[in-house]
Amino acid sequence: MIYAYFGVAIAGLILAAIRFSIGPTVSDRLVALDTMTTITTAFLVLLGLFFERYIYIDVALIYGVLGFVGVLTMARYFEGGL
Amino acid sequence: MEQILEYIGMAVTSIGVIFLFLGGLGILRMPDVYNRMQAGTKATTLGAVGTIIGVGLMHPEWFFKTSIIALFILLSNPISSHALARGSYRIGIKLWQKKKIDAYGEALKNVKKEEEAD
């Protein structure tokens, strides 16, 4: 069951990564990066379930916070008003 | 009782993972930036919250911290998508050619007219 979770989540991640690499404008890439951050946060929690380690939950929390701050900063920067 | 909680957690996690996949598919297939933003933020918000809460239901001793992560994602994803949409409109990325309505552009025009009238 958990391998099915991994497969479906990685398929979504790969589709977002394709858009990240071919996106015509910078906003397309940023939206794809935001999606990849959210999917990776959920994927780290799934990894914690797979390895039965509680520390992955902390890693997912910190990754979510830092990814949110990064995407917000880049959006403000490309708008021109950092 | 724990068995029942584990089955409920597996069902919720399955729904969440499917929505994560649909978010990635929408990012790839939608026609312009704003439509992609709808798919990429709304679908993955539901997907990530479902996945994380489902794992918390499977391991009840982890439920507190997983619900903190889910609450944070629920609060932070709309903020980042709002900043992205506003930024991409301001740097002049066009809407899709088949669009019917552009409410933000009309509102900006009205603001400019009022400033000129003053």
What is the pLDDT at residue A18? 93
3-state secondary structure of B95: coil
Higher pLDDT, A71 or B117: A71
Per cent of chain B over pLDDT 70 is 100
**What length is written for chain A?**
82
The total of structural domains in chain A comes to 1
Both tokens assigned to A5: 């979770």
Pick from A14, A65, A78: which is nearest to B91 by CB? A78
Instruction: Give the closest residue to A36 by CA, choosing from A60, A17, A59.
Output: A17
B-chain residues within 8 Å CB-CB of A15? 21, 24-25, 27-28
Tell me the per-residue pLDDT of B72-87, one tens digit each, with 9 for 90 and over. Answer: 999 999 999 998 888 8
The pLDDT value recorded for residue A82 is 66
- Check CB contact under 8 Å for A71 and B84: yes
Handedness of CA B28, A56, A8, B67 (dihedral sign): negative
Average pLDDT on A12-41 reads 91
Domain span at residue A29 reads 2-79
Average pLDDT of the segment spanning A49-66: 92
Inter-chain CB pairs, A–B, below 8 Å: 153
Q: Domain map of chain B by residue range?
A: 2-117
pLDDT digits (tens, 9 = 90+) for B63-118: 999 999 999 999 999 999 998 888 888 887 888 887 778 888 888 888 888 888 87
What's the complex ipTM?
0.90
How many CB atoms within 10 Å of residue B105? Answer: 11
Report residue A8's pLDDT band, with 50, 70 and 90 as the boundaries. Answer: very high
pLDDT reported for residue A59: 92
